[in-house]
Each structure stands twice: as structure tokens, then as C-alpha cells.
Amino acid sequence: MDPHVSDPSAPLKGGPSKKTEKKLAKEARHQVISFVFMIFLTSVAFLTVASDTIPNRFAIPFILLIAVVQVLMQLYYFMHLNDRGNGWNNIMLWTGIFVAVMTVPTLMLLIGVIKF
């Protein structure tokens, strides 16, 4: 009998299969690439604001756009929302984003921040 069955803290014997090794290597490569891309986006946001390359009027929407891209990348690459079995999580996420995108301009219009 495998000692891991009776004692979950026992070390596992053997190594992962070739298919599992390829999958883990691919996942690690995607995580490193997305991590570097997120560092790049953070640097771009910092440098654009620090150097005044974009007007102050567009600074906040630009930073919010970069933040949304980073949140989506973190959800898909680090929280594994792109894996199978996360269909309902994706539906709920995109529904929430859709409702938020529709609600914020509506409230801004009702409050009077935006005028036509």
C-alpha cells in the first residue's frame, strides 16, 4: 500500500509523467512571460505619470486601463481562470465587468459629472 494514502504528509514516490512535465513547463513559461509583461505595464504607468508625457486629463483613465489589463492577466494566468471547469467563474466575471461598465457612466451622468 502506498504510504501517501494512509499518511498524506508522506513524500510522494516517483516523478511526474512527461505530459505533466510539459504542461508544468508551459504553465511556468506563461507565468514568467505574464509577470514580465505586468512589470512592463507597471513601469509604463509609472513613467508616463512621472514624466508628464500624457496630459493630466488622460492620466487616470490610462492608469485604470493598464490596471484592468493587469487584473485580467492575473486572473487568467495566476488564478487559472483559463483552465477547464471555470466556465461559471468566467461568466460571472464578465457579467460583473459588463454591469460595472454600464453602471459607472450612468451614475456619472445622473450625478452630473458628465453633461451633454
The model's pLDDT over 57-94, given as tens digits with 9 standing for 90+, comes to 888 888 989 998 898 888 888 888 777 888 888 898 88
Confidence of residue 3 (pLDDT cuts 50, 70, 90): low
Helices of type H across 1-116: 3-6, 18-50, 56-73, 87-111
CB atoms within 10 A of CB 91: 10
- Overall pTM > 0.85: no
Residue 103 reports pLDDT greater than 90: yes
CB 81 within 8 A of CB 93: yes
Percent of the chain clearing pLDDT 70 (strictly above):
93
Q: What span, in angstroms and rounded, lies between the C-alpha atoms of 45 and 61?
A: 11
Q: Which pLDDT score, from 0 to 100, does residue 99 have?
A: 94
Comparing 17 with 6, the larger pLDDT belongs to 17
